[in-house]
Amino acid sequence: MFTTAYIGLGSNIGDKEAYLARALCLIADLEGVEIKRQSSLYQTAPWGKIDQADFINQVIEIATELSPLELLHRLQDIEIKLGRRREIHWGPRNIDLDILLYGKEIIDLEELKVPHPYLMQRLFVLIPLAEIDSDLVFPDGSKLEEVLFRLIKSADASDLRKL
């Protein structure tokens, strides 16, 4: 049985677009995973640790037969294959792959939290997510368009630019 999941991709080191493209190819090659839709690329200011280069971000929708933890481990394998090093929390990275949503599941494990803990605070994820699924309803019943509207009113969206 396939589950719909959404993955956030980001990069702010080296050839950012090439890292995202390579990650997409590697995700597409995963057994039990099919990429259904992908957003445009967005240039965004860093979030959390702001003294670093801008990011290029993207969101994809996949259909997967993998369990949430299997999917997490495959995405981490891809990050390692592409040279990701976890040296500074929220620091610069050549590739970052996050499970944003996994069906309607709420997962609260030490290793994996879904929906992604900062999903509702990050325009660089919500805007590309809205591009590919504007009717999305989160597991808690909130609607993407309402969350996005509230966040845009309170945040500075000028730090995000569609490429």
Tell me the residue length of the chain. 163
Verify cis geometry, omega within 30 degrees of 0, for the bond prior to 139: no
Mark whether 96 is an active-site residue.
yes
Mark whether 122 is an active-site residue.
no
Can you read off the two tokens belonging to residue 18?
Answer: 């090439």
Q: For the packed helices 123-132 and 144-154, what is the interaxial angle rounded to 10 degrees?
A: 140
Identify the DSSP state of 54.
P
Catalytic residue of the set 96, 122, 150, 159: 96
Catalytic residue of the set 74, 98, 122, 133: 98
d(CA 100, CA 15): 24
Catalytic residue of the set 74, 84, 122, 133: 84
Catalytic residue of the set 22, 54, 77, 93: 93
Residue (of 128, 100, 129) closest to 112 by Cα position = 100
Mark whether 84 is an active-site residue.
yes
Mark whether 150 is an active-site residue.
no
Q: Which residue numbers are catalytic?
A: 84, 93, 96, 98
